[in-house]
Amino acid sequence: MSFVIKKIDHVQLAAPKGCEVEARAFFAGILGLTEVEKPEELKKRGGVWFEFGTFQIHIGVEEPFTPAKKAHPAFVVENIEELKTHLSKNRVAFSADDNLPGASRIHVHDPFGNRLEFLEWL
């Protein structure tokens, strides 16, 4: 092949129209991601973008909206026990999943019902 796939630039999650305030509260406020300004031409579509390290999460408006219950991004976390404590303090429900050998992981749903996985390799 004459091409190389180098990395994932971003992951897009869908959300309903008017999602921006809730998305900011969850992804920036609770998870601590940094909001990224969207290009002017894309702002009119709604949604909001966030980043951490060299990765981005784009929350895009989709009508009609249906949350992703199975498909999900997975985030590697350092000190997942502290994340669990932080989520509990912020009344964010999570479920533990011990089915992946060598990892401690949890599943969370964003305010729109999309599934998110957080894991720490042991």
- How far, in Å, CA of 36 to CA of 34, rounded? 6
Which structural domains are found in the chain, ordered by start?
10-121 (3.10.180.10)
- Per-residue pLDDT of the chain in tens (122 residues, 90 and over written 9): 899 999 999 999 999 999 999 999 999 999 999 999 999 999 999 999 999 999 999 999 999 999 999 999 999 999 999 999 999 999 999 999 999 999 999 999 999 999 999 999 99
Q: What value does the CA radius of gyration of the chain take, rounded to a whole number of Å? A: 15
Q: Burial-class residue 66 by CB neighbours within 10 Å (0-12, 13-18, 19+).
A: exposed
